[in-house]
Amino acid sequence: MTKTDFPPSIRSRPVYGELEPRAGSFHLIVADGEGAEAVADLFAKAADAPAMRLKSHILYTAGPNGTDQWDRIEALGAAQAQKAASIPTLLFRLARVLQDMQMGSQIYLAGTEGLIGQAERDIMAFGFPHADIQKEHRGSTVRRVQCVHCKGITENVRTDPFQCSHCGLHLFVRDHYSRRLAAFQGVNIDAEDRGQIPPAVERFR
């Protein structure tokens, strides 16, 4: 699978680019699922890939659709590469890596929006400018959605509307996105006419 094309939307909806190697003292690379291909492409573009490998630390986990390309990551030969069991466990490792990182490091995120958004949120919390984090979307388009009513977050939302995994309300999935929460907004779809719930359509795969 190659780079994902999202239809044009409101300004709040995140857009993604293509990872490009940039000069830096250290390269932090975080990826899930098909993001491994973007990481491989990144190293293929590097003018001096062996030097970049020596300064790279990759954190990887399988995608929400089950895609596991750990072998591709391992084959890249980065100085450090770690496979996490899930996004939450990957984020624990990321928090530790960020503690020792210094300015002059380059940061690359690749894969699904849930992984990219949560890694971006944690990196931003350190004061690193979000606009200077490189992001490339690959793989599944399932969404991480916050119910604006109960504030609960539902991972890997496939349909619109969907039922909040916390409070049970039926939610319409908006393109309105929060970088702080790393989530799209879900708004009650039958607030005015209780019970008038349109059939769920699979919009995210």
Partner 1 sequence: MSGGAKLDVRVAEVVKVNDLITRFRFVARDGGLLPAFSGGAHTVVEMDDHGTRRLNPYSLMSDPEDRTGYEISVRRDDAGRGGSLFMHRHVRPDMDMVLSHPVNLFPLDNRARKHLFIAGGIGITPFIAMMHQLARFGGRFELHYAARNPALCAYGDRLKAAHGDRVHLYHDELGEVLPLAALLARQPLGTHLYCCGPKGMLNWVRGTAAAAGWPDHAVHFEEFTAPGTGAPFTVDLASSGKTITVGATQSLLEAMEAAGVDAPYLCRGGACGQCETDVIRCDGKIDHRDHWLSPEDMAAGRKIMPCVSRFEGRALVIDR
Is residue 132 involved in binding partner 1 (CB under 8 A)?
yes
The number of residues in the chain equals 205
We find the least distance from the C-beta atom of residue 96 to partner 1, in angstroms, to be 12
Distance of CA 203 to the CA centre of its chain: 18
Helix (H, G, I), strand (E, B) or coil at 42: helix
Nearer to partner 1, 25 or 86 (CB): 25
Please tell me the distance from the alpha carbon of residue 98 to that of residue 88, in angstroms, as a whole number.
Answer: 15
- Name which of residues 32 to 61 contact partner 1 (CB under 8 A): none
How many residues form the binding site for partner 1 (CB under 8 A)? 19
Nearer to partner 1, 18 or 122 (CB): 122
Nearer to partner 1, 11 or 102 (CB): 102
- Name which of residues 165 to 194 contact partner 1 (CB under 8 A): none
Query: 């084959």: which residue's tokens?
Result: 75
Please tell me the distance from the alpha carbon of residue 62 to that of residue 85, in angstroms, as a whole number.
Answer: 8
x-or-dash string of contact with partner 1, 102-121, rule CB under 8 A:
xxxxx---------------
What's the distance, Cα to Cα, between the start and end of the chain in Å?
Answer: 13
x-or-dash string of contact with partner 1, 75-104, rule CB under 8 A:
-----------------------x--xxxx
Q: How many CB atoms lie within 10 A of CB 63?
A: 23
> 35: Cβ–Cβ under 8 A, 6 or more apart, which residues?
60, 63, 109, 110, 111, 112, 115, 136, 138, 139
- Please identify, among the stretches 21-29, 113-121, 135-143, 169-177, the one whose residues bind partner 1 according to the rule CB under 8 A: 21-29
For residue 31, which phi and psi values (nearest 5 degrees)?
-150, 155
We find the least distance from the C-beta atom of residue 123 to partner 1, in angstroms, to be 8
We find the least distance from the C-beta atom of residue 46 to partner 1, in angstroms, to be 14
Helix (H, G, I), strand (E, B) or coil at 99: helix
**Interacting residue with partner 1 among 4, 13, 18, 24 (CB under 8 A):** 24
Which residues of the chain form contacts with partner 1 (CB under 8 A)? 22-25, 98, 101-106, 123-124, 126-129, 131-132
